[in-house]
Structure 1
Amino acid sequence: MKFVTYFKNLVYQKFPRFIFRCLTNEERVIYKLNKYNFSMLLSLGDNAISRPILVKGEYEQSVTKVLIKYFKPDLHFLDIGANLGYYSLLVASQCPHAKIYSFEPDEKNFHLFTTSILYNQFQNQIQSYGLAVSDQNKNIVISDLGNGANYGARFTGNNAQELRAYVHGENPYYEEIPAVSLDDFLPDIQIDIVKIDIEGYEPFALKGMVNLLKKNRPIIFAEFAPSNLKFFGKIEPPEFLEFFTNLDYTINLIDRQGQVIAYEQNIDQLIQDFGTYQTHHLDLIFLPLLLPLGEKSESNPV
């Protein structure tokens, strides 16, 4: 079994996808991430998440490097926009007594994710929900905007008409899905770390979990994509950052090497620097004001 897994991993790295298909005769593959000792069900048609994992053996190495520093055996982790489940599975593999709450509304991604949960026998650690997260309990619309080969590019809006303006590929799909406010849906959970990446819809999700954030004061990992925030979050980028500073969080940038650059609460400086990075988004970590970078507190000992 180990040889078969190793063979498939090696073949995918060395040969084009069509050869891999001929050798394995499958569109999906269970891939063992040896570095972290867990497996994922991945799709060979997914260029954005599955392929990097198949080639590199992990995903978003810089964010992973920083996230792991805050792990503890009984970590409470909230994953909003779990996608194929990489971060939730990573936490479960490294934190044996973790409690993980994962939300992924896309049906295809959710199927891959929940299959990986069962394969790794992480059912006792990961509680998965095929739901979107928003500012209130309601139905919203999800779409790939015509980019079906990118399993990470699933966009949400209040209605299909709102999303059609941003279609950038052929045959986009639109699906009405249920969304929940976390303050209503899981009002009593404990949270140490939040990871949120929902393609610009973050302002709505955060608005619906303010009480949880105030009560738990978790560390927050979030993507900062100004164009997505404007289009799908209906908010200007500085306002998004102000949400965190108003809750007494500091802003910190995770660079491509996995180093953390502290901005304190200097929103203007981050906005100015964003223009020099020539990238679509930045990876940020928001720390409670009384939790200096790299230190642990009794109230949040992660």
Structure 2
Amino acid sequence: MNKHLVRFLIRNYPFKKGRGSLIAYAMKHVSGMNISADAFGNRFLLDLDNYIDCRMFLEGSYEQHDIMILTRCVEQYDCRYFIDVGANIGVYTVPLAAHSRVRKVYAFEPDPRNYAQLTANIFLNRRHDKVTAYHLALSAEPGLGTLHTASEPNRNESGKFNTGANSLIFNPERHTGSGVEVQTQTVDALIQLEGQNIAVKIDVEGHELSVLRGMKNCLAKNRCVIMVEAFDERFEAVNDYLHESGYKLCGDSQLSKFNYVYVTDERRHIP
């Protein structure tokens, strides 16, 4: 199957109905490595045997609307810094680093495979002067942890690896029994900013509360806009912690499922 022809058909498919089935079929029939431009004009080294990479190749982006929402937040709240927790291959890091208003990006990714692609994609887009990438996991305290590996391709519907589902929190329905030992650290130990407007994205597959506890000073001493993924069973704890820290939930029905945005002033809203 010609993967470039398939990509063209999907990106130009005019109907909502049937689009999901077309993408699901295509994902099972494209593979290999590819350098491809996303919807924002950034170049990415993609492994088409990996779920997120394949979606980016076929559709032009992954969580495109959420990236656009966060970009508008950067503009409205004049955010000069971006902290990407669970940066994966740079899906958010690269486009946010391209924004003229953002001075500095801190990207954190513990998975060795993802981190290798993250640094490659930073280099491909000539953002190495603006982005500092860390090969570690963020948590509530420094130490060591086990990054649990997502299920094998034959155990999920897409037939792809999904390194984006790797987590410090073991889930028998999503992870194999294997994992890799990773270093853990806190935001507060690594980033000392005060009085700044900061955009934050947290996607750590269940470990978000620990990440937030490890950035207590950052949240208190700065004005942050936080996009956090929180599954249903963990949402209440995350919401309570951020509320106690002075942050309010603001809604946008178009955000991807389980993604939420918090700001420091309840009168603010997502642009």
TM-score normalized with structure 1 length: 0.73
Q: Report Cα offsets for 1:58-97 as digits up to 9, x if no partner.
A: 1113312311212348731000000111100011223365
Between the aligned partners of 1:19 and 1:176, the Cα distance in structure 2 is 33
Tell me the CA shift for residue 283 of structure 1: 1.3
Judge which range, 199-208 or 182-191, deviates more: 182-191
**Match for residue 41 of structure 2?**
37
Match of 1:284 among 260, 265, 269: 260
- Closer, same or farther: CA 116–250 of 1 in aligned 2, 3 Å: same
**Match for residue 250 of structure 1?**
248
- What amino acid maps onto 1:292 in structure 2? R
**Match for residue 130 of structure 2?**
125
1:197 aligns with 2:200: no
Match of 1:219 among 222, 225, 230: 225
**Match for residue 19 of structure 2?**
none
Q: Report Cα offsets for 1:116-139 as digits up to 9, x if no partner.
A: 111111101111001100111100
**Match for residue 89 of structure 2?**
84
- Closer, same or farther: CA 186–42 of 1 in aligned 2, 3 Å: same
Tell me the CA shift for residue 150 of structure 1: 1.1
Contact 1:79 1:102 in 2 (8 A): yes
1:181 aligns with 2:186: yes
Aligned partner of residue 244 in structure 1, secondary structure: helix
- What amino acid maps onto 1:154 in structure 2? N
Contact 1:147 1:168 in 2 (8 A): no
Aligned partner of residue 30 in structure 1, secondary structure: strand
**Match for residue 112 of structure 2?**
107
Q: Report Cα offsets for 1:211-230 as digits up to 9, x if no partner.
A: 01100121100112024x3x
Contact 1:145 1:168 in 2 (8 A): no
Contact 2:145 2:168 in 1 (8 A): yes
**Match for residue 236 of structure 2?**
238
Larger Cα-atom Rg: 1
Between the aligned partners of 2:215 and 2:269, the Cα distance in structure 1 is 24
User: Could you tell me the percent identity over the aligned residues?
Assistant: 24
* Structure 1 segments unaligned to the other structure (5+ residues): 1-6, 22-26, 158-162, 230-236, 259-278, 296-302
Tell me the CA shift for residue 239 of structure 1: 2.5
Contact 1:141 1:174 in 2 (8 A): yes
Aligned partner of residue 141 in structure 1, secondary structure: strand
Aligned partner of residue 251 in structure 1, secondary structure: strand
- Closer, same or farther: CA 191–177 of 1 in aligned 2, 3 Å: farther
- Closer, same or farther: CA 60–249 of 1 in aligned 2, 3 Å: same
Tell me the CA shift for residue 110 of structure 1: 0.5
Aligned partner of residue 84 in structure 1, secondary structure: coil
**Match for residue 51 of structure 1?**
54
* Structure 2 segments unaligned to the other structure (5+ residues): 10-24, 154-160
- What amino acid maps onto 1:31 in structure 2? S
Tell me the CA shift for residue 147 of structure 1: 4.2
Let me know the Cα RMSD of the aligned residues. 2.6
Contact 1:75 1:97 in 2 (8 A): yes
- Closer, same or farther: CA 245–31 of 1 in aligned 2, 3 Å: same
